[in-house]
Homo-oligomer: A and B are copies of this chain.
Amino acid sequence: MIDFKEVDRQIESTLNSSLSELGRLCAQPSIAAQGVGLTECAGLVAEMLARRAFSVQILPTAGSPVVFAVRKGRRDRTLLFYNHYDVQPPEPLELWITPPFQPDIREGKMFARGVSDDKGHLECRLAALDALLAVEGELPCNVKFLVEGEEEIGSIHLPEFVAGNAGMLSAEACIWEFGGVDHTGVPIQYAGLRGICYVELNVTTGSLDAHSGLGGSIFPNAAWRLTWALASLKGPDERILLPGFYDRIQAPSDRDLELLAGLPDVAEDYRKTYGLTGFIKGLSDELDLKREEIFSPTCTICGLTAGYQGAGSKTVLPATASAKVDFRLIPDQRPEEVLTQLRAHLDRNGFTDVQITLLGAEPPGRTDPDDPFLRMVADTAQEVYGVPQLIAPMSGGSGPNHAFIQELGVPIATAGISYPGARVHAPNENIVLDNFVAGVRHTARIVNGFAEG
């Protein structure tokens, strides 16, 4: 039996060196969307793992390299950590209180781009292993790391990498890249992710914008074509109109609904945070709201661009227009099917002039929320946080978990250091140092619990 008092003391005593290692990692820009600093950051991650006597490989993909590392432990069971070393662009820079790539500790928090998403989580895993190694002299089980560099741009090449390296990556369970506590400080985990199909729709009706007084009555208008094409996808009743779109949808199980009922109410928090006066589809009941939030697929306009967008008026007839649209998918929808349905629907409705560019595709993926591994993660969370962990049957967000579930057959649990105020993807991204310590303590117990399982 490992002495967790000793492990926790070890975590506390090495906290400063963990944070300074995290600081060095965050000081290295690694912006996938802009192609900045990715190989440098992969090298830094490899170095951090090699320092812990992991066998490390930096493996090329068609995009950013993947860092893979493995170290044997006492028991021949393998736990896989999935993390990513790339970060979101830091813009708008002027809203950062301290520069995004100059990590700063103040008021019990550490601020930097990527400090929560996802470099802090990687450091959390390493700090937990450091403590176990310091106390026990060896890892309790085999540990593998897969650290990719394209998570923030849709993990474009990861599914292929996972499929092509299933043997190397084989494991009995996987800890996902994020996790933490809800807005009341209660730990929460997510037993799955919705899928996504993200497209850009482009319409070009001419080579040159025209004066609206000239062409308004006789020229095709790209902005109108786009508007009509979009309106054909979904009406004000929110029903998505692609034929076949709902065919593969799985209704939530009784257990899913039970888990949802156990989650805290969200309506009031959302109303306040986002300044909403109400929700769509006439939603008001809390359980309906929570079910709809997760177990309903979406078609969201993320952006619109056409013609004149400045102050005042300009009488222009746009020759080009574009929209960003994401579909969130639930089991067993498939992004490639949605893409096919979208093309067919547009063509059938006369919108052959609307071009589709696929910008991201991830199928949904779920783990049984009652899987013994997820239960162990919940039990060890309770030891650390002192309250029962909440389990959401799925997250509304997306990620490349489907490839891991399908190719490696692993249950996937989430655990980590984040909290709703972390401002991931936004200026002044941060972690609370106390959350970091709790996440490290939890991770150490997960590794040990897994080894004993």
Contact = CB atoms under 8 A, between A and B. Distances in A.
A305 B302 contact: no
Contacts of A231: 227-228, 230-231
B283 A398 contact: no
24 contacts: A206-B274, A206-B275, A215-B270, A217-B292, A218-B289, A218-B292, A219-B274, A220-B280, A224-B234, A227-B227, A227-B230, A301-B307, A302-B318, A303-B307, A303-B308, A303-B309, A304-B309, A304-B318, A307-B324, A309-B324, A313-B359, A313-B360, A315-B326, A315-B398
B279 A227 contact: no
A410 to B, nearest CB: 22
Interface in A404-446: 425
B398 A213 contact: yes
Number of copies: 2
Nearest to A226: B304
A113 interface: no
Interface string A223-257: 11011101100111000000000000000000000
B223 A303 contact: yes
A337 interface: no
Range of interface residues on chain A? 35 or more
A319 interface: yes
Interface of A: 33, 153-154, 194, 196, 198, 200, 205-208, 210-221, 223-224, 226-228, 230-231, 234-236, 270, 273-276, 278-281, 283, 289, 292-294, 296-298, 300-309, 311-319, 321, 323-324, 326, 328, 350, 359-360, 395-398, 425
Dominant secondary structure of chain A at its interface with chain B = mixed
Nearest to A314: B302
A220 B297 CA distance: 15
Contact of A324 (B218, B236, B298, B314): B314
A198 B218 CA distance: 19
Nearest to A273: B208
Contacts of A398: 213, 315
A216 B307 contact: no
B315 A212 contact: no
Given A213-B194, A306-B301, A207 B315 contact: no
Contacts of A309: 303-305, 324
